[in-house]
A = this chain, B = another copy of it.
Amino acid sequence: MSFPPPEDGIIRAQSGAQMSVDYIVDVGQPDGLGRAILDVRDQHTNRNGMLHGGIIAMLLDAACGFTASMRLGDGNALTPLVTVQLNVSFVSEAAVGRRVTATGHPSGGGRKIAHIYGELKDEEGRMLATATGVFRKITLRGEPT
């Protein structure tokens, strides 16, 4: 069930979590990097009123995961995979009203494993968080291999 993403490269509601949290995935940029973009609202805040660490992890997981899909799927952004490990460093806080973008950069790997480095920044380019992730290509049940 692998197929190319929409022509404009924007994925809006591919999963329940994405719909619920309401972030956008962009896999259509010429640099071949996956991105996850969120407008921070009240539903995304932690108990201090700032962007929740779990949402930060979700954005970095998405950006790094789609970058890994493109790398492991020879450009196919929808190649299925699982996250093996994700490490997030929380560098700075983000407030409601900000637009934040996570971007995944490939560090290396092989045919089945991808190492990705991710950065989350706000619209002024301020670093909010970094991440390293390991992703592994999988075959979904019922799918030709």
Contact = CB atoms under 8 A, between A and B. Distances in A.
Interface residues of A, number: 56
Nearest to A91: B108
B90 A52 contact: no
Interface string A53-71: 1110111011001000000
Contact of A136 (B19, B43, B113): B113
A71 to B, nearest CB: 13
A115 interface: yes
Given A15-B45, A15-B46, A84-B84, A92 B117 contact: no
- Residue of A14, A46, A49, A59 contacting most chain B CB atoms (<10 Å): A46
Nearest to A65: B53
Contacts of A53: 57-58, 61, 65, 83, 86
Interface string A68-92: 0000000000101011111111111
Interface in A128-145: 130-132, 134, 136, 138, 140
B83 A90 contact: yes
- Residue of A49, A53, A59, A84 contacting most chain B CB atoms (<10 Å): A53
Contact of A20 (B44, B78, B92, B109): B44
Given A85-B89, A86-B88, A134-B134, 8 more contacts: A16-B43, A19-B43, A20-B20, A20-B44, A48-B82, A54-B54, A57-B61, A83-B90
